[in-house]
Amino acid sequence: MVAVLALVLPALALAHNVAAADRAALAAAHGAQPFIYAYLGAKHMVTGYDHLLFLLGVIFFLHRLRDVAGYVTLFALGHSITLLAGVLGGVHVNSYLVDAVIGFSVVYKAFENLGGFRALFGAALNTRAAVFLFGLCHGLGLATKIQELSLSRDSLLGNLVSFNVGVELGQLLALILMVLLITLWRRSARFDRQAFVANAIIMACGFVLVGYQLTGYFIGART
Amino acid sequence: MTRIESSVSIVRASLWALVAAALALVLAVLPAEYGIDLTGFGRLTGLNTFAGSKEGAAAAGRKAAVASEMAQAPVGADAAGGAPALQVWSVAHPDHFAQRTYEVKLKGDEELEYKAVMSRGDSMLYSWRVKEGSQVYFEFHGEPTEGKWPEGYYESYEKGESTAGSGSMVAPFNGNHGWYWLNLTDKPITIVVELAGYYRDFGLQGQPKSP
């Protein structure tokens, strides 16, 4: 498990920030650029492994497509609100802290999937509320990141909406793949046991994210 | 949940996850991302070497990045014709250093390059800001003019979007060192540049390369 984490995470870490080349492209673009922003939104989602891990946790034990759609809509609603409000209101939150909370949301969801809350505290939290709440946090992260790009003030709202649409599209794409794979996996007789291990791994990844971001916060890089 | 696990196994799995995460962090992620190498494993595997050269590690990382870029490859300078690596902390000069303030005017959406001639190992302090307070895209970089270098080679010191920038630099090679600026607004702007150090002929240079 350590070996896998060690190999995968540092490589992925590069993917997270909006790439330098994309910034330069945006710097040169003015006015409404629906396709550029939508593409960046989608790219951010597809390569944003922290969002993907959280989504994976959320849909892990959902059997019906209707439930998947329900939870994901809540998540999307949450992050759309904070993305729009955050950028329009010029809210700057330390991106390390936001990302640490996002890492924590991965840990939380994995722990819930392990059955931790039910077994240890006798009651599960309201998952829908939690997913919505963490959706708000994820949106704040997106808002902080998109403000690192220079956004031209004209047609800001339009570009933000485009970015958000892109985020949803990217999310949908990733979800389809995840749901498909898990559905296949669920047919296996050993799914229960493997799912337990898988969620422990997801949780470990969440811990790594928390540690990585908090360290960044405390040594004061990037702020 | 399709299967109810016992509390013990859930706690055990969570603890294992925590331990695995701590190991991955300390052994790999921290050395690779921040150059924090508590165990020496990063140095052993070479993981710590790319901490400095990564974007996003700015501020604390930025200084390390410049330092490591200067310590690495072409600057360490076998590429520059077998000269020894640059490891000089003090350079005496016969002349007084230059010190001046410049005003660089850019039209809306215009891009320009302003550079100074500097010799390897010479240093300069700089501060620039956009008078109007608007954002520019910039790339602080150097182009060697002597020695054997790949065609069109230049070394990027720092780039990004900002309204101002300050710092110090030591020229990694003989050549032209300075800024590419792109006005991100459609209105004319003036960039005020203050320089002090061992440089010559700060001025407009050729047609800028696109970033």
The nearest alpha carbon in chain B to A120 belongs to: B7
CA–CA dist A134, A106 (Å, integer): 10
Residues 95-124 of A with CB under 8 A from B: 110-111, 113-116, 118-120
Domain-ending residue, one of B16, B46, B76: B76
For A114, B11, B72, the CA distances from B8, given in Å and listed in that order, are 11, 5, 51
Same domain, B121 and B37: no
Structural domains of chain A, count: 1
Amino acid identity of residue A66, one-letter, is: R
| Conformational region of residue A106, where left means phi above 0, alpha means psi within -120 to 50, and beta covers everything else | alpha
Across the interface, do B7 and A119 touch by the CB < 8 Å criterion? yes
CA–CA dist B130, B12 (Å, integer): 57
Same domain, B121 and B184: yes
A1 in a structural domain: no
Domain-ending residue, one of B76, B109, B133: B76
Across the interface, do B182 and A6 touch by the CB < 8 Å criterion? no
Q: Would you place residue B4 in the very low, low, confident or very high pLDDT band (cuts 50, 70, 90)? A: low
In this structure, of A7-16, A112-121, A199-208, the range with the lowest mean pLDDT score is A7-16
Host domain of residue B13: 7-76
A199 in a structural domain: yes
What's residue B84's pLDDT?
A: 45
**B107 min Cα distance to partner chain A (Å):** 15
Same domain, B166 and B131: yes
What is the per-residue pLDDT across B17-41, written as a single tens digit (0 to 9) for each? 999 999 999 988 888 888 888 888 8
Structural domains of chain B, count: 2
Detail the DSSP E strand segments found in chain B.
98-106, 111-118, 123-130, 136-144, 155-162, 164-170, 175-183, 189-197, 200-204
B190 in a structural domain: yes
Q: Which residues of B touch A24 (CB under 8 A)?
A: 137, 211
Same domain, B55 and B153: no
Give the 3-state secondary structure of B133-176: CCCEEEEEEEEECCCCCCCCCCEEEEEEEECEEEEEEECCCCEE
pTM exceeding 0.80: no
Higher pLDDT, B44 or B180: B180
**B7 min Cα distance to partner chain A (Å):** 5
Residue B188 has pLDDT above 50, yes or no: yes
Host domain of residue A146: 41-219
Span B132-141, mean pLDDT? 87
Higher pLDDT, A205 or B203: A205
B81 in a structural domain: no
The closest CB to that of B10, out of A10, A61, A120, belongs to A120
Residue A147 has pLDDT above 60, yes or no: yes
What stretch of H or E contains A120? helix A116-121
In this structure, of A18-22, A59-63, A67-71, A217-221, the range with the lowest mean pLDDT score is A18-22
What is the per-residue pLDDT across A176-219, written as a single tens digit (0 to 9) for each? 889 889 989 988 888 888 999 999 999 999 999 999 999 988 88
In this structure, of A103-117, A167-181, B68-82, the range with the lowest mean pLDDT score is B68-82
What is the per-residue pLDDT across B167-183, written as a single tens digit (0 to 9) for each? 888 888 888 899 999 88
How many A-B residue pairs are in contact by the CB < 8 A criterion? 146
Question: B192: which strand partners?
Answer: B103, B129
Percent of chain A with pLDDT over 90: 21
B128 in a structural domain: yes
Same domain, B23 and B58: yes
Q: Which residues of B touch A106 (CB under 8 A)?
A: none
ipTM: 0.70
Across the interface, do B4 and A27 touch by the CB < 8 Å criterion? no
The pair of three-digit structure tokens given for residue A88, joined into one six-digit string = 């329009």
Q: Which strands sit side by side in the sheet containing B189-197, from one edge to the other?
A: B98-106, B189-197, B123-130, B164-170
The closest CB to that of B3, out of A13, A17, A192, belongs to A192
What's residue B59's pLDDT?
A: 38
Q: Which residues of A touch B6 (CB under 8 A)?
A: 119
Which of A14, A60, A145, A207 should be substituted to probe chain B, the one whose Cβ sees the most B Cβ atoms within 10 Å?
Answer: A207
- The answer to whether residue A13 neighbours chain B at the CB level (below 8 Å) is yes
Q: Would you place residue B186 in the very low, low, confident or very high pLDDT band (cuts 50, 70, 90)? A: confident
What is the per-residue pLDDT across B47-89, written as a single tens digit (0 to 9) for each? 776 655 443 334 333 333 344 444 443 333 333 444 445 555 6
